[in-house]
Amino acid sequence: MGRLESTSKTTTNQRIANLKQILNFTPELEENQINQDESNQNSSVVWVKRSQIHLTFSFVPFAPDGQPVRYYYDPEELRTWALNDLKPNGIHSPLWVRPLKNGKPDEYELVAGKRRYHGSEFAEIDPLPVRIFHWNDLEAFKASLAENKNRRDFSALEDLDAILKLLAISIEGTIEEAVSLLYQMDNLKRRSGMENVLAHPQYEIIQSVFDFFNGITWESFVKSRLPLLKKPNEILESVRQGKIEYTKALEIAKIKEPKIRQKLLEEAIVNNLSLAEIKKRIQSQKPSSQNSIQGRLDITYKQFKKSLKNIEKNPEQLQQAENLLFQIEEFLKKH
């Protein structure tokens, strides 16, 4: 039994060592100043046509092809940036690519630089500067996370998904198992204290993943990020598909009625409603005092009192009124 435990511990330690090696792998993040002259011929930066770069993102785990780690870019903001910066100044930092799987020798898959890629379309820049890396899927995923989080803050949902995906890979499990593990750790800490958490066989793996993201602890992640998974699925998927900005989607998620929520979500996507417009429409959906239960009760009571003399003159109507009052009384007894 002791030998089996020793072997299991060795395997776990080896997995942790391998994980740390992968997480410590970080490509250079500094920007490369690019010039399209002969002096740049020996640089690691090369120029390729936009049509040779594919946005398949096959290296992103637990996601359909075509879904990057960064979900949404505001189209108007992107256009303004492209015309005011990229067009006059060019692209100062190369895109990261890797050879396209099962593709031609000069075909590449984009790893990082989606904003610059789409900006180049507005700025009419082609070919594009790239750095070519021969990464496997895990290295490409990690490199994409590193490059993106270095440039712009993740939204809370991008943060949530990226961390869960990396954690799931690290424990060789699923997203659901990663979520379950974090809740298990949180319960263990509240029940038994941090000492038992530190002794958990998966603790070092969890800590290594959160050390990589540098800025959020697993404890705060459980409290501030995991609850997002309880938001309506159509809201989360619309953000993941890049259809709507996270802050707008979160506002729409406040609507409890599914049909009304879905209608506003579709309208916000089609018409690119601003956050202020969305808030205004949500406010208009809230019932006025006249339409609220309290308001309706007040109005109904006044109407009933006003009509009571006429009702008393009609035996049939009086019986109906008594029956309704009896139903209300019985309802109130149960509540």
The tens digit of pLDDT for each residue in 79-135 reads 999 999 999 999 989 999 999 988 788 999 999 999 999 999 999 999 999 999 999
- List the structure tokens of 97: 């690519």
Residue-wise pLDDT tens digits, 170-195: 888 999 999 999 999 999 998 888 88
Residue-wise pLDDT tens digits, 201-237: 889 999 999 988 877 899 999 999 999 999 999 999 9
Judge whether residue 293 has pLDDT over 80: no
Between CA 225 and CA 157 the distance in angstroms is 8
Mean of pLDDT values over 248-258: 92
Whole-number pLDDT of residue 29: 45
Between CA 206 and CA 3 the distance in angstroms is 26
Classified as helix, coil or strand, 1 is: coil
Tell me phi and psi for residue 95, to 5 degrees. -75, 150
The 10 Å Cβ neighbour count of residue 228 is 18
CATH number of 38-151: 3.90.1530.10
Judge whether residue 197 has pLDDT over 80: yes
* Amino acid occupying residue 150: N
CB-based contact 50:126 (threshold 8 Å): yes
pLDDT top residue among 57 and 313: 57
The neighbouring-strand residues paired with 130 are: 46, 95
- The answer to which of 95-104, 129-138, 251-260, 303-312 has the lowest mean pLDDT is 303-312
Burial of 232 (0-12, 13-18, 19+ CB in 10 A): middle
Query: Average pLDDT of the chain?
Result: 83
* Domain spans in the chain, listed from the N-terminal domain onward: 38-151, 153-226, 231-288
Q: pTM (2 decimals)?
A: 0.71
292 confidence band (pLDDT: 50, 70, 90): low
Q: Edge-to-edge strand order for the sheet containing 128-132? A: 45-48, 128-132, 95-99, 108-112, 53-54
Query: What is the DSSP secondary structure assignment for residue 243, as one 8-state letter?
Result: S
Judge whether residue 2 has pLDDT over 90: no
